[in-house]
Amino acid sequence: MTTRRVQTRKSASVACVMVLMVSSSHLPFAAAQEPSANQTETAATGQTPSVEELAKLKQNPVSGLREVILQAVVSPDMPVTGKTAGNYSLQPVWPFGLGENWRLVTYTILPVIQQPGAPGENSIVGLGDTLINLFFSPRKPGALIWGAGPAILLPTRTDPALGSNRLSLGPAALLFYPKGAWSAGVVLQNGWSLGGSGINQVNAFGAQYIFNYNLRQGWYLYTNATISANWLANADDRWTVPVGGGFGKIFRIRKQAMSASIQAFSNVVTPRDGANWNVNFQFGFLFP
């Protein structure tokens, strides 16, 4: 039987940083067919896209769709404590045009983290570190859509257990391929803390996989999660590999386009102090 140790303040801090460096379940960090130039420039033309078209735009990480997302990741029955951990975040996705051929898509994650305490101790709740992803991408890609840019982690934590106190920086790149009712993609990134040594260092890798299948009337099935590694941890505590999925829907209330989705994941590989499973809820406001 594998024994689990109580998570220390240092390991909790590094774990929170790892989650933020690769946590976006939308990248966004989730097309029935390749979006046309008209679909990706809806705001400019003034056309109103259907819910099926909005689903395609939302699932393409660099489509140019503006979004404001509210996300809750809940991890019940944490090891040792038996308590529930939570990561609640505001995630604005905002594109900027860079001439006729390029765009910059900004994706920011502003988290509030609930970190369970050891037995007999209270949970810690507060702000985590803020992640900013910047993706440069062509406005009119071919069959294979791509983007690349930096990932920046800002030390905005309010408690040492909720993140690192060091600025972190690293590269990020994505590939996305829509074909028929299906689409698939991957987002790769790695972040390193800048300067200093010892506690709160960051060297975290993430490989986010994206699979979608669109149904009628804005419904879709999908799996969108991140395989992560903490290169500073021991080999037995390095990797987290989630497996699962869920469903979602694009809809309108009056003229406002919205999205809602839910996923559940089992971590088939996880650190000794890591969550065994979690549920991901997401609600978004879409601005085509």
12 contacts 161 by C-beta, under 8 angstroms: yes
- In the beta sheet, which residues pair with residue 147? 174
| Domain annotation covers residue 135 | yes
Higher local confidence (pLDDT), 79 or 170 = 170
Instruction: State which amino acid sits at residue 158.
Output: T
- Asked if the structure places residue 3 within a domain, the reply is no
pLDDT at 201 over 60: yes
Per-residue confidence (pLDDT) for residue 48, from 0 to 100: 85
**Does 180 fall in a domain?**
yes
Q: What is the CATH number of the domain that holds 159?
A: 2.40.160.40
Residue 7 domain-assigned (yes or no) = no
DSSP state of 155: -
Residue 6 in any domain: the answer is no
In a domain, 2, yes or no: no
How many domains does the structure of the chain reveal?
A: 1
CA distance 23 to 3: 27
Domain membership of residue 255 (yes or no) is yes
Range of the domain at 76: 12-287
What is the tens place of the pLDDT at every residue in 95-146? 999 999 999 999 999 999 999 987 778 899 999 999 999 999 999 999 999 9
H runs (alpha helix) in the chain? 9-22, 37-40, 42-45, 51-59
* In a domain? residue 244: yes
pLDDT at 210: 97
- 204 pLDDT more than 80: yes
Amino acid 43: pLDDT: 43
Rounded Cα distance between 153 and 97, Å, is: 24
